[in-house]
Structure 1
Amino acid sequence: MTRALIPSPIVATIDFAADGARHGFLRLPYSRDDSAWGSVMIPITVIRNGSGPTALLTGGNHGDEYEGPIALFDLARTLDPATVSGTVIIVPALNYPAFRAATRTSPIDKVNLNRAFPGAPDGTVTQKIADYVQRALLPMADLVLDFHSGGRTLDFLPFCAAHLLPNPEQEARAFAAVEAFAAPFSVRMLEIDNVGMFDTAAEEMGKVFVTTELGGGGTARAATVAIAKRGTRNVLAHLGILSGEAEPAPEPTRWLDMPSGDCFVLSEDEGLMEPMVDLGGAVAAGDVVARIHPVTRAGLAPVELRARLDGLLVARHFPGLVKAGDCAAVVAVAL
């Protein structure tokens, strides 16, 4: 039987078409040692008021990234249906098992949800979640806002981003939504590995897809949470779903570009990373952005990692120890 003919095992406990605010679950049956007929219960809220666009808002795609879940759990509780024209679908912790475990990948199957699309209705738990999003949620959405942060292994300047796309009209709508989000930085983003991503799945369906990187280190800060909350409402206002004016940022957003793989500074060695430039610092091609100190014995010289283009340091590895193949730093170019 082909994938398209196999129904999803996930059942929504709420009605997507009814007006008002409804809070429920995406219930995914999951038989396990401590619950033979158990389920993974993924919280979902749908707020609808008449006709209009539909926004799909997701956090917790990776379970150790927190600005999105904080902003979206708060929005699900506070968004008044009377201020809405259209539909807002809120899934604050999309990869719910990973969110509860505070891990990037699911503790059940070790699968990274953001590399699992289009998923499989008869696959692992994570693949079943991806399949439901692909076949049930994405077709309803006009715009997707998927929150990310650096998790436990990266730290970012707070930015909102979209991708360069083959369709100029779709690309323009995505970057207009990024600008409306009004993060401190706005990025024309290049993915180092886009196979199986939620982003790619949505964009291939013609959806406007917007994402963020709002900090990292496996925690959240008051400033980055505020950016997430303000940006979410701004995007909804931009789309015409939320009444009222967008809230301006304290400072105009600064646009950055990631033009090529030269943005990524990868370590070929393991050891202790010494940052030579802080986040937001200016660098020139050839500048040392980090040094990797060998830790197997004292007296060995560090390996220098150098920027390959001029720009700003927008991301760095977190915390201090790196392994061969880790991304140590990311440089973006000011527009």
Structure 2
Amino acid sequence: MTVSELRPSAISPTVDFSMDGVQHGFLRLPYSRDDSAWGSVMIPVTVVKNGEGPTALLTGGNHGDEYEGPIALFDLARTLKAEDVAGRVIILPAMNYPAFVSGTRTSPIDKGNMNRSFPGRPDGTVTEKIADYLQRELLPLADIVLDFHSGGKTLDFLPFCAAHILSDKQQEARSFELVDAFCAPYSMKMLEIDAVGMYDTAAEEMGKIFITTELGGGGTATAKSAGIAKQGVTNVLRRADILKGGDRSAAGRTQWLDMPDGNCFSFAEDAGLIEPLVDMGDSVVAGQVVARIHPIGKTGALPSDVCTKMDGILCARHFPGLVKAGDCVAVVAVAV
């Protein structure tokens, strides 16, 4: 056995995941620091349980500058009643809590990217300890996992819910069923360009039904994007027969998209001031210039063009006005 398998988690919950009713509490992680020698990171958690049934694990704040998920989940934690549930709902609105309270993608404590830290380590950094607790304690409890994301401060997305193509086609079909139930304006068969250490991968390798979202970006939320998140989680819980009441099949319509391969992505090869030439949702063709990067060191220098590699629609773009070499500038998806 590995050290991680032998050593217990450093995190202790103040809730009982097996007890019926509504419980609000914390995942308490000891963290000794300059201003609190015996301090702790206190990660908010809510458990709503009513008898036997499936368990949904709902997470937001995997990256700390993405807000639609935390808005939807703090609201759900406040309003969900035990009598409305058949089974169990575990709500973690801000799983990388240090990153969430600092408004940054990664943790200010250890610069850990939660979504590249799995399976984690019980004797590792703060971020690795949180990942380890999710890996060994929370994911095994879950039947379905919904992890909210949006673009944060550096990307902007068409609002979509997504799942991955999987080798287990029954698991894949069930995942896409819940994507359809979420009923964002767009639904995506999603490709990851770097899946190592991801929460998604950890859940899928355990056989869990895993879905995720990208619901806007720019390091903020809108009334529309927050509304999509709040309605979407309700739709998923109903379709999973965990939330009572309502019509489990009445989610509405969504436009399906596919990210078939790496040609979806276009990256900057130069740094500078980015000029978008195509807006999100617009149709593009292979070789089309979608953005122009202007050098900012001196006037009179020629800009460089960023082109698409495939036909489709623009589903994501770089958000801030300045770009660095290697940054993702545009993502194209194919309408299904």
In the superposition, the TM-score normalised over structure 1's length comes to 0.98
Identity %: 69
Q: Give 2:41's aligned residue.
A: 40
Shift of 1:131: 0.1
Q: Distance in 2 between matches of 1:132 and 1:300?
A: 52
Distance 1:236 1:308, change over 3 A: same
Q: CA deviation at 1:246?
A: 4.0
CA gap of 1:227–1:246, structure 2 versus 1, over 3 A, is farther
Aligned length: 334
Is the contact between residue 239 and residue 249 of structure 2 (CA under 8 Å) also seen in structure 1? no
- CA shift at 1:247, angstroms? 8.0
Deviations 1:290-323 (A, max 9, x none): 1111111111111111111111100000111000
Matched residue, 1:287: 288
Give the corresponding residue for 1:231.
232
Looking at structure 2, the residues matched to 271 and 247 of structure 1 have their Cα atoms a distance apart, in angstroms, of: 48
**CA offset at residue 188 of structure 1?**
0.1
Give the C-alpha shift of residue 80 in structure 1.
1.3
Q: TM-score w.r.t. structure 2 length? A: 0.98
SS at match of 2:299: coil
Question: Where does residue 302 of structure 2 map in the other structure?
Answer: 301
Matched residues in 1 for 2:201 and 2:294: separation? 37
Partner of 1:322: 323
Once residues 262 and 230 of structure 1 are traced to their aligned partners in structure 2, the CA distance between those partners, rounded to angstroms, is 32
CA offsets per residue over residues 21-49 of structure 1, 9 Å max, x none? Answer: 00000000000000000000000000000
Measured in 1, the distance between the counterparts of 2:15 and 2:307 equals 52
Match of 2:117 in 1: 116
Provide the C-alpha distance between the structure 2 equivalents of 1:283 and 1:193, rounded to a whole number of angstroms: 25
Paired residue for 2:69? 68
User: For 2:306, what is the secondary structure of its paired residue?
Assistant: strand
Q: How is 1:93-242 mapped onto 2 (pairs within 5 angstroms)? A: 93-242=94-243
3-state SS of 1:331 partner: strand
Matched, 1:7 2:13: no
Secondary structure (helix, strand or coil) at the match of 1:226 reads helix
Rounded to whole Å, the distance in 1 between the matches of 2:262 and 2:309 is 9
Displacement of 1:252: 1.6
Aligned residue identity for 1:91: L
**AA aligned opposite 2:323:** V
Q: In structure 1, the residue corresponding to 2:296 is in which secondary structure?
A: coil
**Per-residue displacement from partner, 1:82-139 (whole Å, max 9, x unpaired)?**
1100000000000000000000000000010000000000000000000000000000
The unaligned stretches of length 5 or more in structure 2 are: none
Q: Equivalent residue of 1:262, what SS?
A: helix
Give distance in 2, aligned partners of 1:26 and 1:334: 41
Q: Deviations over 1:43-67 (max 9, x none)?
A: 0000000000000000000000000
What does 1:258-297 align with in structure 2 at a 5 Å threshold? 258-297=259-298
| C-alpha deviation, 1:142, in angstroms | 0.3
| Offset at residue 248 of structure 1 (A) | 4.6
Task: Name the amino acid aligned to 1:261.
Answer: G
| Unaligned runs of at least 5 residues, structure 1 | none
- Contact 1:233–1:246 (CA under 8 A) maintained in structure 2: no
| Cα RMSD for the two superposed structures | 0.9
